[in-house]
Amino acid sequence: MIIMNNNPLLDLARVEDLTYIQEGKHYGVFKDVTIRSAFQPVYCLVHARMVGAEGLMRCVTANGQVVSPLEMLFTRCHSEADSVLLDRLCRYLHVKNAISLLPSPGWLFLNVSPNIVIAGKHYGAFFKELLQHCGMPPSRIVVEILEDPSHEEQQLHKAVDYFRELGCLIAVDDFGTGHSNFSRVWEINPDIVKLDRSLVVRAAFDARINRTLPNLVDILHESGCHVLMEGIENESEAVTAISAGVDMVQGHYFAKPGHNLETEAPVDALLRQSHIQYIYSTRDRASFLAHTLKPYVEIFNGALIEPTTRSFSSAVQALLGLPFVLRCYVLDGWGKQIGTSYLPAGAFPANEKFEVFANGEAADWSTRKYFRTAINAPHQVQISEEYFSIPDGNMCLTLSVACRVEGKLQVFCCDLKWE
């Protein structure tokens, strides 16, 4: 065997020696194990079609025993050279098999360990030559960076730089667990962030996470990343992904990993049904809001017939008699609170932890959306989205309206406790 810097040369020819073709599919043999590719499709929610697939290992011994990828790495790789060879063999198989399966310009998602990639430079060139050999443009490769505590930052950035300079896309995998967080996103600046399945699972029974997911996706979008939700296993989780605003989905609900990519016809129906369920849920919520808030809005509209300090005072007294009211208050045209807040007689018990925020007199609420929307559309009652209330730590929504009172622009507000 050719020796290079005391390391075996594990180039394209060496890897190809470990492969064979059967019924048009490429297989590999590593130690006593046969390796084949399995692909799980990735679908774009907006376009309702497959835009790529993730390449996965399927390993079986000569006696039919299934071996997990981790077991392959830890029990059959006895040296750095073994690990590099296994990694290159898997990438070879995935690229070779994907060529005939993925419609152009669909992406091929590949899992990559930074440590193994950096170690690979001592064993000869490989990946660039593989892509050129197969006629696969680097722009169709999405490299999923696999992380663990043993990775050195320098190794991680070297691996990312290598694939980015090659022309590949970079993805951060399992966002929301372990080391995958915003710090990692800002450091790596990936093209795609894959949200871990644990997020969509927890969103099903934790209202806080369900409320937070859309904001999380918004921040990732503002960071310049496309967002993929992985691990979708049922329609409810698909609706959660749609509600969160992710760009792509992946999971058993749409297609299980397979030797061949499944047809898109049934998936198109599943995506359409999920969108329909999402529309129904938003319509139901809008209808619920309109019905529940009707008496509050009527009081606001009554105060607008002749907007004066007296009409606002009467509206406050009427509102304080309705359920869910946390407080009423008035802002000037710059968003500064005029006087203290008006509280209902049976006010919700104040949270002692947030008592420092209780007095709102002269507070500046100009950054709040309910103030800005009211200022931009005078004499129209505005209903905010749910948000976290500073004064008492509750989730609430705010009704607001802007109008001129005695020649001065004011904004009349009412906060409702809204879990």
> What digits encode the pLDDT tens for the residues 293-331?
999 999 999 999 889 888 999 999 999 999 999 999 999
330 in the same domain as 256: no
65 in the same domain as 177: yes
At residue 201 the predicted structure's pLDDT band, cuts being 50, 70 and 90, is very high
pLDDT digits (tens, 9 = 90+) for 321-338: 999 999 999 999 999 999
| Mean pLDDT value of segment 271-284 | 84
28 in the same domain as 132: yes
| Mean pLDDT value of segment 252-268 | 80
408 in the same domain as 331: yes
Residue 257 lies in a domain: yes
318 in the same domain as 231: no
Which 3-state string (H, E, C) describes the chain? CCEECCEECCCHHHHHCCEEEECCEEEEEECCEEEEEEEEEEEECCCCEEEEEEEEEEEEECCCCEECHHHHHHHCCCCHHHHHHHHHHHHHHHHHHHHHHCCCCCEEEEEECHHHHHHHHHHCCCHHHHHHHHCCCHHHEEEEECCCCCCCHHHHHHHHHHHHHHCCEEEEEEECCCCCCHHHHHHHCCCEEEECHHHHHHHCCCHHHHHHHHHHHHHHHHCCCEEEEECCCCHHHHHHHHHHCCCEEECCCCCCCECCCCCCHHHHHHHHHHHHHHHHHHHHHHHHHHHHHHHHHHHHHHHHHCCCHHHHHHHHHHHCCCCCEEEEEEEECCCEEEEEEECCCCCCCCCHHHHHHCCCCCCECCCCHHHHHHHHCCCCCEECCCEECCCCCCEEEEEEEEEEECCEEEEEEEEEECC
Residue 272 lies in a domain: no
Looking at the 3D structure of the chain, how many domains does it have? 2
pLDDT at 98: 95
Residue 278 lies in a domain: no
Which pTM does this prediction carry?
0.84
Could you list the residue range(s) of the whole structural domain that residue 241 is in?
A: 3-262
pLDDT digits (tens, 9 = 90+) for 113-168: 888 888 888 999 999 999 999 999 999 999 998 765 555 678 888 889 999 999 99
Average pLDDT value over all residues in the chain? 89
96 in the same domain as 176: yes
Inform me whether the pLDDT recorded for 96 exceeds 90. Answer: yes
137 in the same domain as 74: yes
CATH number at residue 408: 3.30.450.20
240 in the same domain as 363: no
